[in-house]
Amino acid sequence: MVLTDRTGLYQKDFMIPVLKFLFGNGVILINGDDWKRHRKVVLPAFNHETIKSMSAVTAEVTEQMMQQWRGQIHGSEEESAEIDMIHAFNDLTSKVIVLMREMQKLATAATLDAPILWYLPTRRNLHVRRLNKQLRSKIMSIMQARLAADGADRRGGRGGAVSGGGDLLGLLLEAWTPQPQHGNGGETLTTDEVIDECKTFFAAGQETTATLLVWAMFLLAVHPEWQDKVREEVVREFCTSDDGEVPHADVLAKLKLLYMVLLETSRLYPPIVYIQRRAAWDAVLGGIKVPQGTVISIPIAMLHRDKQVWGPDADEFNPMRFEHGLTKAAKDPKALLSFSLGPRVCTGQSFGIVEVQVVMAMILRRFSFSLSPKYVHKPKYLLSLTPKLGMPLIVRNVDG
């Protein structure tokens, strides 16, 4: 869908205000020099060593979740437990998502409004502002707790460097005031910019990770033959590892089938079903003239099921289409848009995939799962694609 700018409404800013409250005006939404400045701060948080250390944290939290599952199964006469994966994975990724989901519902409703209503003090807009205030307060609490844990008082620009290492929050707090001696090139972020980047991480990172996990569990529950295949792969590679319960980078690199399943999951149920881009100058796309300032909505979910691109089985679950890599899975080597493409490709793509691999590998090694009879298939778009009526699965311990 192409929105041509005939009224000037989109000339300055095409983003619905509630979306900026939700995602934060961070590295996903900003442009120009501000984007370069933010990206310079954020990008180091997703290097190899940081992803490795954060994977250990993911594994620890996953083990805590699995212990709760074992307790529920142990207390059941059927030796199984019905668990809603939406709640399980939201708890796994972030408590902040509760507020995010409420804002998602309001943002989805706002897309149906006339643009002029986005800026008026309607009941919905006032509610959004109250939620945004609560969200900012929670994020500030997280920031302050981190600073306190690091033994630094940076309020009012005072205090030393954050000692939290190279994770995202640590780097953001390090850039909160000028810190050229700490390797960020002297780039600085205001308090609002740090909060916005935290929002971006929670909304675009944690939420999409939880969503990808939910749909991966769903597809493996629906296709038990693939669940068995991937479990066999996980168990086999774990047996050759000396790291016990935690899958390290070498193990993850060998989980080819699991990786293929996750790519196919992101194709059939992309966490973000569409993205928008605005033409920076006059252009021609596929023979169509696109004037400068035109906003283009790219329907990811629709393109991912295009039979002309993906073949006659485009609507079917077939991880083997990725057997020979991303570029050979479809007629167009750039057909998979789950993480966008080009300079604006998702900065945290590698971390998100590794995080999901760690969680799935640990679950598959210890549990089998199937759809609950209560499940009703009603995917709903709330900025991310989620099951409207939940994702209840019957979970059992794997023998041995």
Q: Which two tokens stand for residue 367?
A: 């549990």
What distance in Å separates the CA atoms of residue 266 and residue 286, rounded to the nearest whole number? 26
Task: Flag whether 239 is marked binding.
Answer: no
The conformation of residue 204, written as its DSSP 8-state character, comes to I
Burial of 347 per CB tally in 10 Å (0-12, 13-18, 19+): buried
Q: Which residue has the tokens 């009879």?
A: 373
Beta carbons of 82 and 390 less than 8 angstroms apart: no
Beta carbons of 38 and 193 less than 8 angstroms apart: yes
Closest CA to 45 of 183, 159, 138: 183
Alpha-helical segments (H) within the chain? 17-23, 32-42, 48-74, 85-93, 97-110, 123-149, 168-174, 191-200, 207-222, 224-239, 249-254, 256-268, 300-303, 307-310, 349-366
Phi, psi of 213, rounded to the nearest 5 degrees: -60, -45
Residues annotated within the binding site are: 346
Residues annotated within the binding site for heme are: 346
